[in-house]
C-alpha cells in the first residue's frame, strides 16, 4: 500500500507540473497538449475501441514471442547441464547475438520475411531469450552436489532427478529471468511496431505522430507504460501466490 501511495504522489506531481507548463504557455499546445485534452483523446479512443484493438494486438505478439523465447531459453539451459561441452561450443555465438540490438536487425528481417508478423516475433525472441537463458542456466547449474546425492540415494533416474530436484531448485532464478525478459520483450515489440506494423501500440504512436496528434502520442506512451506495469505486477502476483520458496521483497 505504501508503494502505491508513493506512486500516486509522484504521478500527481508530474501531472501538476505538466498542467502548470501548459497553463503558463511555456510550451505550445501543439507540442505539449494539456492534460484535459489528452484525457479527452484517451476517452474517445477507449470508447471507439481503437485503443483496445492496439493493446490486444501488442499483447498477442508479446505472448507468442515470449513463449517461443522461453522454449529456446529452457533448451539452452538444459543443454548447459546435460551437454556442457556442446554448450561451450555454442557460447561464443550466443554471446555475439546477445550483444546485437534486435532492433538493428529489423531492416534485414523485413527483407527476409516481409512486413508480416515474423520480423516482430523474431525481435521479441532475440530480446527475451538471453535474460531467460542466463537465469535458467544459472539456476540449473547451481544445484549443489549434496542435493543431487539425495536423488542418487533414492535411486532416481537422471530424468526424475532433473524434474524433482534440479528444476525446483532452479525455479527462483528461472522466474527472475522470465520477469526481466517480459519487460525487455514489451519494449522491443513497441520499437519493432514503429517500423513495420498496421496495428499495435508502436504503430499507433507512429500514425499519431504523422498526423501531428501529440495528444494521441501521449495516450499511446501512457498505454505502453500502463500495460507493461500491469503485466509485470500480474506476473509477480502469480509468483507470490503459487511459489512458496525463494521469494523475497523484490517480488512485491
Domain ranges for the chain? 1-32, 33-251
Between these two residues, 141 and 52, which has the higher pLDDT value? 52
pLDDT at 6: 65
Say if residues 216 and 45 touch (Cβ distance below 8 Å): yes
- 174: alpha, beta or left? (left if phi > 0; alpha if psi -120 to 50): alpha
Which pLDDT band, with edges at 50, 70 and 90, does 160 fall under? confident
pLDDT at 189: 81
| Domain 33-251, classified CATH 1.20.950.20, yes or no | no
Contacts of residues 201-205 at CB distance under 8 Å and 24 or more positions apart, as own/partner, are: 201/54, 201/55, 201/58, 201/227, 202/58, 203/54, 204/50, 204/51, 204/54
pLDDT, tens only, 169-226: 788 888 888 888 988 888 888 778 877 677 888 889 988 888 888 889 999 999 998 9
- Give the number of C-alpha atoms closer than 13 A to the C-alpha of residue 33, restricted to the C-beta side: 16
pLDDT, tens only, 213-245: 888 999 999 999 899 889 888 888 888 776 765
Between these two residues, 220 and 251, which has the higher pLDDT value? 220
Q: Would the pLDDT of 138 be above 70? A: yes
> Helix 167-195 crosses helix 50-82 at what angle (to 10 degrees)?
140
Q: Would the pLDDT of 13 be above 60? A: yes
Amino acid at each position: 500500500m505504501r508503494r502505491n501511495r508513493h506512486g500516486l504522489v509522484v504521478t500527481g506531481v508530474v501531472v501538476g507540473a505538466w498542467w502548470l507548463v501548459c497553463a503558463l504557455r511555456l510550451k505550445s499546445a501543439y507540442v505539449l497538449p494539456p492534460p484535459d485534452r489528452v484525457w479527452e483523446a484517451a476517452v474517445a479512443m477507449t470508447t471507439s475501441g481503437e485503443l483496445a484493438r492496439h493493446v490486444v494486438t501488442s499483447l498477442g505478439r508479446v505472448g507468442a514471442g515470449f513463449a517461443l523465447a522461453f522454449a529456446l531459453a529452457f533448451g539452452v539451459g538444459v543443454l548447459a547441464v546435460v551437454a556442457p561441452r556442446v554448450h561451450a561450443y555454442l557460447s561464443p555465438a550466443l554471446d555475439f547475438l546477445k550483444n546485437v540490438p534486435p532492433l538493428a536487425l529489423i531492416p534485414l528481417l523485413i527483407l527476409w520475411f516481409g512486413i508480416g508478423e515474423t520480423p516482430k516475433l523474431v525481435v521479441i525472441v532475440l530480446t527475451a531469450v538471453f535474460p531467460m537463458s542466463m537465469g535458467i542456466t544459472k539456476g540449473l547449474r547451481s544445484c549443489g552436489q549434496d542435493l543431487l546425492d539425495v536423488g542418487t540415494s533414492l535411486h532416481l533416474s537422471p530424468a526424475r532427478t532433473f524434474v524433482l530436484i534440479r528444476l525446483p531448485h532452479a525455479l527462483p532464478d528461472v522466474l527472475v529471468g522470465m520477469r526481466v525478459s517480459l519487460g525487455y520483450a514489451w519494449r522491443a515489440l513497441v520499437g519493432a511496431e514503429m517500423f513495420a506494423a498496421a496495428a499495435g501500440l508502436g504503430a499507433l504512436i507512429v500514425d499519431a505522430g504523422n498526423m501531428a496528434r501529440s495528444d494521441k502520442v501521449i495516450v499511446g506512451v501512457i498505454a505502453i507504460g500502463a500495460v507493461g506495469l500491469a503485466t509485470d505486477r500480474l506476473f509477480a502476483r502469480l509468483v507470490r501466490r503459487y511459489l512458496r520458496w525463494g521469494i523475497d521483497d523484490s517480488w512485491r
